[in-house]
Amino acid sequence: MKIGILNYNACNLASIYHSIFRIGYDPIIIEEKDQFKNLDKLIIPGVGAANSCLNYLKKKKLFDEVDNFLKKKKPILGICLGLQIFSKKLHEHGLSDGFNFIDAEVVPFRDNKINIGWSELIIENNNKWKNLDLKSFYFCHSYYLKFLDSKDIKFCHGFINFHEKVPSLIVKNNFMGVQFHPEKSQTNGNKFIENFLNWEPKID
């Protein structure tokens, strides 16, 4: 299996790389558009600012490659900012247009609060994720996903409570997005990454 980790010039590459390597795979760092060829799964790490991330992806002509990968129904894992950029609009460091895949916008917490530390993931929507016994994960973010229309709320399978109800596990077709950092969540995170690598998406 060929696994790619997208580099957008600000993300946390080393931690996610070593997490995958320890599982038994040798992922490649995606920096150019021709590296998407024959890729089976794509991971988009967190850590960074939305505006800079999206501008970099467009400048390097990687934005369209990610969009094409998504439309080909190949599995994508978006972590933290890697989840948020699949929304419609992002408000971090100015207004940015995301991939418009999730009917949501990314907004700051009230009073500029920052969520840093371990939180228990609350699983909802009666489905297979109810069996997820790995519920404690590490979070580090000051912006969160806010749904704009009820039609996409059904794709939220887990959340935390941090002054707001924060969507933290989104699964829509071949896209899986998490607000937490599995690569920093020790044993729970490693098992979650392994679950993604073994995941076969159900396409609606």
Please give the positions annotated as active site: 80, 181, 183
- CA distances (Å), 87 to each of 80, 134, 203, in order? 12, 26, 19
- Nearest 5°: the CA angle 171, 173, 178 is 25
The amino acid sitting at 113 is K
Rounded Cα distance, 137 and 169, in Å: 11
Rounded Cα distance, 76 and 196, in Å: 9
Give 25-36 as a DSSP string: ---EEE-SGGGG
- Report the DSSP pairing between strands 164-172 and 175-178: antiparallel
Q: Record the tokens describing residue 98, joined without a space.
A: 């995301």
3-state secondary structure of 47: coil
3-state secondary structure of 55: helix
